Structure 1
Amino acid sequence: MRILAVSLDLDDTLWPVEPAIGGAEQALDAWLRQHLPAVAQAWPIAALRELRDRISAQRPDLAHDFTAQRLLTLRHALRSSGIDSEALVQQAFEVYFKARNDVSLYADALPALTALAARVPLVSISNGNADLARIGLQRHFRASFSARELGMAKPSAGIFHAACAELGLAPEHVLHVGDDPELDVAGARSAGLRSAWLNRSGGRWPTHGALAGVRPDLELRDLGELASRILAATDADTGACPAGQRFCVLP
């Protein structure tokens, strides 16, 4: 199958997300302690995290929108402390969001993005609310698709099909790469895309539940391996997949 474009997950694919979220929580806590000490005292990091989880559970209609969940959390925290100010909510969120986008890329990510973008169109597909422009990676991508903006999250086929429509390609000519077996691999396959599982930890492919009978087209240890495959395939320029090979990347 000829692969003419690549879509990439973001969190835990290009960077580890937990350090970014932890740093954002700490930045927000420091800001609250300085500007709204009563809120900081009533809502330390652990309590604010629990509140956010509770709001997430109460609002399944916002499961695709982490920004909305976070804003609701901040509004509740401030109002419970007697502060009813949308301006302060927005300021607090900006502190959080700026730090949330202060990510540390995996060592292979930037070299791979640079190499990939020179050969094939790239798009991002993410359930998270990372901002590629703030991070400084937007130049590598033709477009970005987030669950928040589209109103649907992976593994919904709609978010994958939106990316394919932007690329002007049939789904079978797009390879989606991500770390999550269900959201990325099973989601992409159900939408008709090819799939690659980024298995940085070397874990075993899960075979239970929704993943029973599902396998990725590729399994990668890092993004450098993907870039090497694409560069080798585009350099070969044979025009067809070798006999018996279930996956190839061609211009």
Structure 2
Amino acid sequence: MERIRAITLDLDDTLWPVWPAIDRAEVVLQAWLADHAPATHALYAEPGALRAVRNRMNTERPDLAYDLSALRRESIRVALQQAGDNPALAEPAFEVFFAERQRVELFEGVASALEFLAARYPVLALTNGNADVHRIGIGQYFCGSVHALQAGVAKPDVRMFQLAAQTLQLPVEAVLHVGDDAVLDVQGARRAGMQAVWVNTAAQAWSCPNEPLPVTVPGLPQLCSLLV
């Protein structure tokens, strides 16, 4: 731990549970469609129908693989077009969804833990997703962000972690990556040469049996205790 000079942090499911926010965003989107694109609302009224269109985009639009906002926007456009509504409504519809997606509820103690970490290290957000720490209201704790869209690759690709270290102007071995996913975060960081801490909020079994169990904490506050 004494070698650590900076920290990279995963966001979704490390600092907050992501699916409650996405579930709410989809409900808000449906309500917006009911007012502005009623045919689309009716065609995709079945629970999960719009999410199925979004999931299908992963296969149909591989060119957008690292741009989750574009994938969501395109899925809304496709839904509008199939229902006979104006596909130009995809942009304002996405903005409604995206604003709600940023309304996350931090895990207990995360705000104070971020304050603790930011007072001691440069902290960089490192995410495959499209969460915006500034819109969420925690941007003051971060010196910057690296997203998969920016990198052109996604975790666990070692190039994501290398780009993060370059952004911090540090060698990879001086950076500690902290995240909830055993493969995307821990395995990816280790293979890039970073140190890694696994935030295991759900008390899951370690899923990489051929690799040693990393330093594990149930949440960000417990990480702070290790860094005192």
Partner of 1:214, secondary structure, is coil
Q: Is the 8 A contact 1:20 1:100 kept in 2?
A: yes
Q: Is the 8 A contact 1:195 1:216 kept in 2?
A: no
Residue 148 (1) aligns with residue 149 (2): yes
Distance 1:186 1:134 in 2: 29
What is the match of residue 210 of structure 2? 213
Deviation at 1:71, TM superposition (A): 1.2
Q: Deviations over 1:5-51 (max 9, x none)?
A: 11100000000001000000000001001111111001124211111
Partner of 2:125, secondary structure, is strand
Q: Is the 8 A contact 1:176 1:196 kept in 2?
A: yes
Residue 26 (1) aligns with residue 23 (2): no
Q: Which amino acid aligns with 1:119?
A: R
Q: Is the 8 A contact 1:194 1:217 kept in 2?
A: no
* Residue ranges of structure 1 left out of the alignment (5+ in a row): 233-251
Deviation at 1:212, TM superposition (A): 4.1
Residue 176 (1) aligns with residue 177 (2): yes
Distance 2:110 2:81 in 1: 41
Distance 1:74 1:177 in 2: 33
Q: Which amino acid aligns with 1:167?
A: L
Deviation at 1:216, TM superposition (A): 4.8
Q: Is the 8 A contact 2:156 2:185 kept in 1?
A: yes
Distance 1:146 1:216 in 2: 26
What is the match of residue 80 of structure 2? 78
Q: Deviations over 1:63-116 (max 9, x none)?
A: 222111111101111111223442x11100000000000000001210100000
Greater mean alpha carbon deviation, residues 21-30 or residues 161-170: 161-170
Partner of 1:3, secondary structure, is coil
What is the match of residue 189 of structure 1? 190
Structure 1 outlier segments of 4+, above 6 Å: none
What is the match of residue 162 of structure 1? 163
What is the match of residue 57 of structure 1? 59
Q: Which amino acid aligns with 1:223?
A: L
Q: Is the 8 A contact 1:185 1:216 kept in 2?
A: no
Aligned residues: 226
Q: Deviations over 1:136-188 (max 9, x none)?
A: 11110011011122221100111111110111111011010000000000000
Distance 1:212 1:65 in 2: 31
Deviation at 1:3, TM superposition (A): 0.8
Distance 1:25 1:203 in 2: 27
Q: Is the 8 A contact 2:39 2:84 kept in 1?
A: no
Q: Is the 8 A contact 2:39 2:85 kept in 1?
A: no
Q: Deviations over 1:180-215 (max 9, x none)?
A: 000000000111100111011222212xxxx34223
Distance 1:38 1:58 in 2: 23
Q: Which amino acid aligns with 2:27?
A: Q
Q: Which amino acid aligns with 1:113?
A: L
Partner of 2:48, secondary structure, is helix
- CA RMSD in angstroms comes to 1.3
TM-score by length of 2: 0.95
* Residue ranges of structure 2 left out of the alignment (5+ in a row): none
Q: Is the 8 A contact 1:196 1:216 kept in 2?
A: no
Percent of pairs identical after alignment?
Answer: 44
Partner of 1:125, secondary structure, is strand
What is the match of residue 47 of structure 1? 49
